[in-house]
Structure 1
Amino acid sequence: MAAGENPPGPAGARAPHGLRSGLRGLTTRGRSFLAAGITAALCAYVFGQDALLRVGVLLAALPLAAALLLLRTRYRVAGGRRLTPHRTPAGQEARVHLRLDNVSRVPTGVLLLEDKVPYVLGPRPRFVLDRVEPHGYREVSYRVRSDLRGRYPLGPLQLRLSDPFGMCELTRSFNASDLLTVVPQVQTLPPVKLPGERAGHGDTSARALALAGDDDVIPREYRQGDDLRRVHWKSTARYGELMVRREEQPLKARAAVLLDTRHLAHRGTGPGSSFEWAVGAAASVGLHLIERGYRTRLITDTGRSVPTAGSSVTATAAEAGGLLLDELAVVDHSDGGGLARAEEALRGGEGLLVAVVGALDDEQLDRLARLRRRAAGAVVLLLDTTTWAGLRHVLPNTPDAVFAEQQKLLRRAGWTVVPVPAGASLPELWRSADRTDEAGPYRDEVRA
């Protein structure tokens, strides 16, 4: 919880500045009373009416007294904010919890609490808090929602003080703020057998353990805390000291997800564009591979390589997925025209390469075909961007010969090609990448 303290009252040495601040904080009612009081005083001077002068002084003194009262109010408050959750998928709500603590020995008056949020998350929340007792607190919450992924700042929290008559209102801000990360929507993918799993560096951890066993045959010296059941008695007798069997570190399958962010490669705008579909597909595929035990990294056409926490043996799948989603939450179009830098970033050694690409010209098609040699297995989600542009609705019976030819060339290069039209279901498309003997699409692909 982010917390901060801010005494509403000014320092005594800066009274003139505080008085100006109080005058600027006069509400419409306070300014009206002050203007009416000054006008009454001038009329009393012109017409010589003492009773009207007393009324004018009273009207003018009331807002000034309210401003001075607020300026001399010195109760101290602390504010905090808590997000549930910190990461939320696009289109879903997150809840923001606010807490205000009165850390002074005097009760507060009526407080107006306001949190600053970007307009894409909804209207700015405002709460009216009644009197808060000494060392007491108040808790309120509100909901935010965005259809657009990204990182959005929340805060700083603002506190408005008001006098009982509503003549003056002063605003104080806390320093603490938080970030809400809106990530792409993730779909659960079915488990399928992917190309490259039978390669030596593409084995899953389960297969590596099945081949190597849980114990290494090379012993090491006994260390305090080792399980005595792991004592290797033959080595103990040979070396003359207690030896235990070394634990096998399971091998990790490696995978890379290539995301095509080129502006020229995508069609459509907003959440329904081909680019947003590609980002969501990269997030779904990346999380799916991490959950299956792959050490997964994200690569874009700009050459940016983002190793997830799955690259570390000690990292959890949740940490790996969190890093992947954080990166995809802020990824944007690139002005680059090709996949050359992505080819440099793929240094090889990946057991599996999954590419999510948009429209390709001849040069990028050749580069993508060459990328196949840098991985043991490769799957490409080839977006038919003409369906996002609405061109197929004009000529629905005209086949796209160029798109069909690109699929054939990539299949000849060794890619498992999955064509993606607009509105397609990613889980259904993912099933077509199945490389088992019973998978019909794969057998058709080999015959082609």
Structure 2
Amino acid sequence: MTAARPAGPDGAVRGGLWGAFGGLTTRGRSFLAAGLAAAVCAYVLGQPDLLRVGLLLAALPLVCVTVLHRTRYRVTASRRLSPQRVAAGAEARVRLRMDNVSRLPTGLLMLQDHVPYVLGPRPRFVLDRVEPGGKREVSYRVRSDLRGRYPLGPLQLRLSDPFGMCELTRSFSAYDLLTVVPRTEPLPAVRLAGEAPGYGEGRHHSLAQVGEDDIIPREYRYGDDLRRVHWRSTARYGELMVRREEQPQQARCTVLLDTRAEAYESGGPDSSFEWAVSGAASAVTHMLERGYAVRLLTDTGDTLTGDGGDGYVAPGHEAADTAGLMMDALAVVDHSEEAGLGRAHDVLRAAGSEGLLIAFFGDLDEAQAELACRMRRRSGTAVAFVRDVGGDGAGGSADAGGLAGAGVAGGSAGAGGSGGVADAVRLLQEAGWAAVPVRPGDSLAALWRHATRGVGAVAGGGTTGFSGGWS
């Protein structure tokens, strides 16, 4: 939730007194014109009573303008957005608060907050008289099916006096940002056989695994357990030495997102590209929850976020914050103009073969499929989801039976996808990838469960498919 922010240095709307006269309504202008006309006639005809009436008619709109001009400087506004980050399709609440810090009551207040059209219609509110020192709060909801970063504001305020002589419209300068992140799907917690050290039961490795001679001791520190004292090293160095604690090895995972414009055909919230972005977001969230240091890589060779030079974000007590950084990056990722996956391949080649690789590919021709195969050689275990772009709009579901019907069994892509995606999946499987084709309507959780079921066989190398097929 964001803190309340005023419109300007003093939290008030701006404008000059002379500019306020431009807010005179038709009634106010008529009163002013009638008053001036009456004053002229009284001067010509020598009628002092008519002069007093004319002055009264002319003074009323002038007094209204002056009072309203003073009042607008003493009206402050603030906005609170809760939450600031929402998933696509979810709602956020915006609360507006108006404070009258003057000694005079306000007239009618009409509020309008500017929001992008994808979040819904512009909210409008009418507030009746606000007493001196009083406040009013209103709220509205915003929702978007499209991920992105959207500004809320500035707030527009229109004031009018009780006589309807003047209306002033001014805009506050403060605005807030609503981040709509991709939808994420919970993934089943399966054990990835053949994965890099540091996952699950094999996460902690001792520095000493062979024998007493391989133990690397250190000096005793206050609070160390005396049962860890290494007496042989103590006698050798002449001071109390203890065995080192087991050091955890941080498991790493790279999530590769193919953003090439030519790799996807349709657009919109249900397009194949949005499915790939949502899948990458789900994989990032899942791997961070499982204790991995995650790097989010695109086909341009850029890491979308990272707190280190290698682009990895490590989990910890701030795991939710690090996942939020990834989600913010995915909220605004767009198509690239890259012709191939060469830059991503160069980054993976320079990074070495440590850790898992999870890739979300669009359309892969033969050249790009062979390049993706070479990416697998630089990674310990690799899982690929290849989108069947040619099947967009064909419908379908990815339950257990649907996946078996897709033909991804016994190491072949089968007839579940188009010829291009079937050939790409076959090449990836032959190179050691756990690759599955993705059709419109497929569930990522079901694809993840069945893909990771064959990782153990694929990671061993030399196999061309999933052991045992789909079951």
Q: What range is the shorter-chain TM-score in?
A: 0.7 to 0.9
Structure 2 unaligned segments of length 5 or more: list them.
Answer: 209-213, 397-414, 458-464
Shift in Å, 1:403 = 2.8
1:416 aligns with 2:418: no
How many Å separate the matches in 2 of 1:304 and 1:254? 17
Residue pair 2:260, 2:337 contacting (<8 A) in 1 also? yes
Shift in Å, 1:442 = 2.4
How many Å separate the matches in 2 of 1:155 and 1:43? 49
1:309-324 aligned within 5 A: 311-312=313-314, 314=316, 316-324=318-326
RMSD: 3.7
1:208 aligns with 2:203: yes
1:355 aligns with 2:353: no
How many Å separate the matches in 1 of 2:134 and 2:119? 30
Partner of 2:407: none
Q: TM-score, normalised by structure 2?
A: 0.78
Partner of 2:399: none
How many Å separate the matches in 1 of 2:76 and 2:418? 63
Partner of 1:106: 103
Shift in Å, 1:158 = 3.4
SS in 1 for 2:466: helix
Q: TM-score, normalised by structure 1?
A: 0.82
1:114-193 aligned within 5 A: 114-193=112-191
Partner of 2:295: 297
Instruction: Say which of 446, 458, 461 aligns to 1:428.
Output: 446
Amino acid paired to 2:113: D
Deviates more, 1:241-250 or 1:402-411: 241-250
1:381 aligns with 2:385: yes
Identity of aligned residues (%): 56
1:368 aligns with 2:360: no
- Which structure carries more helix by proportion? 1
Shift in Å, 1:24 = 1.8
Q: 1:59 to 1:350 in 2, by over 3 A?
A: farther
Structure 1 unaligned segments of length 5 or more: list them.
Answer: 11-16
Q: 1:272 to 1:38 in 2, by over 3 A?
A: farther
Shift in Å, 1:444 = 4.7
Partner of 2:347: 345
Residue pair 2:388, 2:418 contacting (<8 A) in 1 also? no
How many Å separate the matches in 2 of 1:383 and 1:332? 17
1:402 aligns with 2:420: yes
Residue pair 1:308, 1:321 contacting (<8 A) in 2 also? no
Amino acid paired to 1:208: R
How many Å separate the matches in 2 of 1:8 and 1:55? 36
Amino acid paired to 1:25: G
Instruction: Please list the CA deviations of residues 240-260 of structure 1 after superposition, one character each: whole Å capped at 9, or x if unmatched.
Output: 666665544421211111111
The count of residues paired between Structure 1 and Structure 2 equals: 429
How many Å separate the matches in 2 of 1:76 and 1:236? 76
Q: 1:206 to 1:18 in 2, by over 3 A?
A: same
How many Å separate the matches in 2 of 1:322 and 1:437? 28
Amino acid paired to 2:340: G
How many Å separate the matches in 2 of 1:399 and 1:289? 28
Shift in Å, 1:9 = 8.2
Amino acid paired to 2:380: A
Residue pair 1:2, 1:177 contacting (<8 A) in 2 also? no
How many Å separate the matches in 2 of 1:398 and 1:301? 26
Shift in Å, 1:72 = 3.3
Partner of 1:14: none
Instruction: Please list the CA deviations of residues 196-247 of structure 1 after superposition, one character each: whole Å capped at 9, or x if unmatched.
Output: 41xxx4431641326669xx964544556x4667773746677666666554
Instruction: Say which of 320, 331, 334 aligns to 1:332.
Output: 334
Partner of 2:412: none
Partner of 2:466: 442
Residue pair 1:196, 1:351 contacting (<8 A) in 2 also? no
How many Å separate the matches in 1 of 2:240 and 2:161? 79
Deviates more, 1:143-152 or 1:238-247: 238-247
How many Å separate the matches in 2 of 1:249 and 1:112? 63
SS in 2 for 1:72: helix
Instruction: Please list the CA deviations of residues 149-195 of structure 1 after superposition, one character each: whole Å capped at 9, or x if unmatched.
Output: 10011123333332122222223443332211000111111122336
How many Å separate the matches in 1 of 2:216 and 2:63? 86
Shift in Å, 1:364 = 1.0
How many Å separate the matches in 2 of 1:380 and 1:65? 73
Amino acid paired to 1:402: G
